[in-house]
Amino acid sequence: MLEALLWGAIASSSLVLGAWLATLRRWSDAVVGMVLAFGAGALIAGVSFELAEAGVTEGGPVAVGVGLAAGALAYFFADRAVEQRSGRGGGGASGVPLAVGALLDGVPEQAVLGIGLATGDGVSLALLVAVFVSNLPESVGSSADMLGDGRSRRFVLLLWIGVAAVCTLAAVAGRAIAEVASPTLTGVVDGFAAGALLVMLVDAMISEARAKGGQVAGLATVVGFAAAAALSLLA
């Protein structure tokens, strides 16, 4: 359990680090856009190599498909609830939706890390690094948006500390339930994370990266994808 707690804390620590960096100074829209674009590319690689592909191998396409639908719907309705509560309409700021997305995809991602430890496969270094690297720009971009919308530094830091704590506990929970986790359930968990990520990427992260980073956001996305994909393939 302590091992799962340690790796879970390492993976989620970049969420708090990103929020802290965002509070140190005001980052330009161009920088935030590039950071978001790089993170989006890394997340796309994570979905492809560490979640969807691994989920199909472990639990089969049906399990991953069920998880994809559940994760996509969970993020969609959670985002709509946040939108209604905050009064955000249309494009709006992407800060809070990105935080919601980080929670919805972070929990199953961390659970997968914990399950891997329990089954003797060890922690996936590629997934660990991809989660850490992609969490950082996601947190920086989200925090910068929330600060720009008038949220206090205290609110932003506490929000991300809370998200990181929940994600860390998810790794411990994954380790605990691994005794009864079937390959099918693992495939569903992988699919859930992938579905939530994909909806969040299109609804918030990629659109915000393009709006703030301009035309070069696409290039930064490719760099992020290549970096994360290389880690997956090397592992």
pLDDT of 123 higher than 80: no
Residue 27 maps to a domain: no
* 38 occurs within a structural domain: no
pLDDT at 130: 67
Q: Which of 68, 137, 51 is nearest to 102 (CA)?
A: 137
Domain membership of residue 34 (yes or no) is no
> pLDDT digit string (tens) for 162-215?
999 998 998 888 778 766 778 888 888 888 888 988 988 888 788 888 988 898
| Mean per-residue pLDDT, 146-156 | 86
Give me the domain span that covers residue 155: 2-20+54-234
Q: pTM to 2 decimals?
A: 0.78
Q: How confident is the model at residue 56 (pLDDT cuts 50, 70, 90)?
A: very high
The answer to whether residue 104 sits within a structural domain is yes
What's the confidence (pLDDT) of residue 90?
41
- The residue type found at 29 is D
Name the H helices within 48-124: 53-59, 61-86, 95-118
Share of the chain above pLDDT 70, in %: 87
Residue 218 covered by a domain: yes
Count the domains in the chain: 1
Is 37 within the bounds of a domain? no
Contact assessment for residue 175 and residue 1, using Cβ atoms and an 8 Å cutoff: yes
Average pLDDT of every residue of the chain: 82
Q: CA 41, 43, 46, 49: dihedral to nearest 10 degrees?
A: -40
User: Which DSSP string do the residues of 160-207 spell out, in sequence order?
Assistant: HHHHHHHHHHHHHHHHHHTTT--HHHHHHHHHHHHHHHHHHIIIIIHH
Surface-to-core class of residue 206, CB atoms within 10 Å of its CB (0-12 exposed, 13-18 middle, 19+ buried): buried
Round to whole Å and give the CA distance between 1 and 47.
Answer: 26
pLDDT of residue 128: 75
Q: Would 226 be classed as within a structural domain? A: yes
List the structure tokens of 167: 């994600």
**92: confidence class by pLDDT, cuts 50, 70, 90:** very low
